[in-house]
Amino acid sequence: MIFSKIIGVGSYLPKKLLTNKDLEKSLDTTDEWITSRTGIKERHIASPEEQTSDLAFEAARNAINNASINTEEIDLIIVATTTPDKIFPSTACNVQTKLGIRNCPAFDIQAVCSGFIYGLSIADKFIKTNSAKNILVIGADSMSKITDYTDRSNAILWGDGAGAVVLSASKKQGILSTHIHADGQYEELLHVPKRNVGNKIQQTIEMQGSQVFKIAVNTLDKIVDEALIANQLQKEDIDWLVPHQANIRILEATAKKLEMSMDKVIVTIDRHGNTSAASIPLALDDGIQSGKIKSGHLLLMEAFGGGFTWGSALIRY
């Protein structure tokens, strides 16, 4: 039996920081409101020249170094992103060029904040069907490029970054299971419509935050049960929750459902904001770098986002 195992993790954050105090200068908001309602204190913002593939490339390079393999050994690149460099070619193809490799398949997937979980799920199947041996799964987003910085309900939330893993064929079990879902009927609650503003087409995020919040919390409850039942595991078997970072109050609600102390939850939202597809691999790398997540630990990753899409991955690291 072939399993897929994470053998390398890397991440990248753009240099520029945007703090709540910075946002107070241009918006009718306060550090106190943002901190108490979201848990966010600051977020990283890509420069105008930095594209999503640049962030993804840096994260991928770090993951490949961490995996101690040669770049040429990568035989599939999957990039989960909502903010591709261009409509085409795919950001994955741009990352492939930046890594200096040729011929392996490379494609993007679009599942907004659940994109990394979708990517892991696809990559796991490629490995288990012996179709690839070393897959780069990258979550990368430049959400600042689709954020309306005059809209206080959105401008405070989003950040930019990238995280990547090398997922490899292994005799040891790494990914225990993945579960992915979608329900398109809620499109209007969280989307990027095309609007005519003056003579220009504007495409920025629009969200009915409190409605999304309620559905997210209820759905994440079900995700947790689904992952545990599928693997006949108990809540207490999980060493770390590595969640999508949308709102500290959503993280707290999921931890409560798991009867888990917040000490067992990897939290980066205070420093990263919501980086969409990048948030889970960024949190994973943060948990490893800080010495919390160790080899052999059982990790539950979960996400909910636009689409709506949602999903989980249960992983023995």
**Rg of the chain over all Cα atoms, to the nearest angstrom:** 18
Rounded to an integer, what distance in angstroms lies between the CA atom of residue 274 and that of residue 115? Answer: 13
Is 138:119 a contact under the CB 8 Å cutoff? yes
Which residue, 249 or 294, is less far from ligand UT7 as judged by CB? 249
- Is residue 299 within 8 Å of residue 239, measured between CB atoms? yes
Q: Does 135 bind ligand UT7 (CB under 6 A)?
A: no
Tell me which of 56, 135, 246, 313 binds ligand UT7, using CB under 6 A.
Answer: 246
Which of 274, 275, 309, 312 binds ligand UT7 (CB under 6 A)? It is 274
Distance CA 21, CA 115 (A): 30
Q: Which of 62, 66, 93, 113 is catalytic?
A: 113
Q: Is 212 one of the binding residues for ligand UT7 (CB under 6 A)?
A: yes
Q: How far is the CB of 4 from ligand UT7 (least distance, A)?
A: 26
User: In the set 84, 139, 163, 305, which binds ligand UT7 (CB under 6 A)?
Assistant: 305
Rounded to whole angstroms, the Cα distance separating 128 from 44 reads: 36
Shortest Å, Cβ 246 to ligand UT7? 4
Residue closest to 239 by CA, chosen among 176, 179, 180:
176
CA quadruple 209, 247, 193, 280: dihedral, nearest 10: -160
209 binds ligand UT7 (CB under 6 A): yes
Specify whether 93 is catalytic: no
Answer for which of 99, 176, 216, 258 binds ligand UT7 (CB under 6 A) is 216
Q: How many CB atoms lie within 10 A of CB 9?
A: 24
**Interface residues for ligand UT7 in 14-33 (CB under 6 A)?**
29, 33
Residue 65 known to be catalytic: no
SS (H, E, C) 202-232: ECCCEECHHHHHHHHHHHHHHHHHHHHHHCC
Among the listed ranges 10-18, 72-80, 139-147, 150-158, the one in contact with ligand UT7 (CB under 6 A) is 150-158
User: With CB under 6 A as the contact rule, which of the stretches 6-14, 68-76, 170-178, 244-252 interacts with ligand UT7?
Assistant: 244-252
Of 37 and 125, CB closest to ligand UT7: 37
Residue closer to ligand UT7 by CB (options 27, 298) is 27
How far apart are the C-alpha atoms of 32 and 20, rounded to whole Å?
A: 9
Q: Does 219 bind ligand UT7 (CB under 6 A)?
A: no
Q: Which of 275, 142, 150 is nearest to 206 (CA)?
A: 150
- Binding positions for ligand UT7, rule: CB under 6 A: 29, 33-34, 37-38, 113, 152-153, 156, 209-210, 212-213, 216, 246-247, 250, 274, 304-305
- The catalytic residue positions are 113, 244, 274
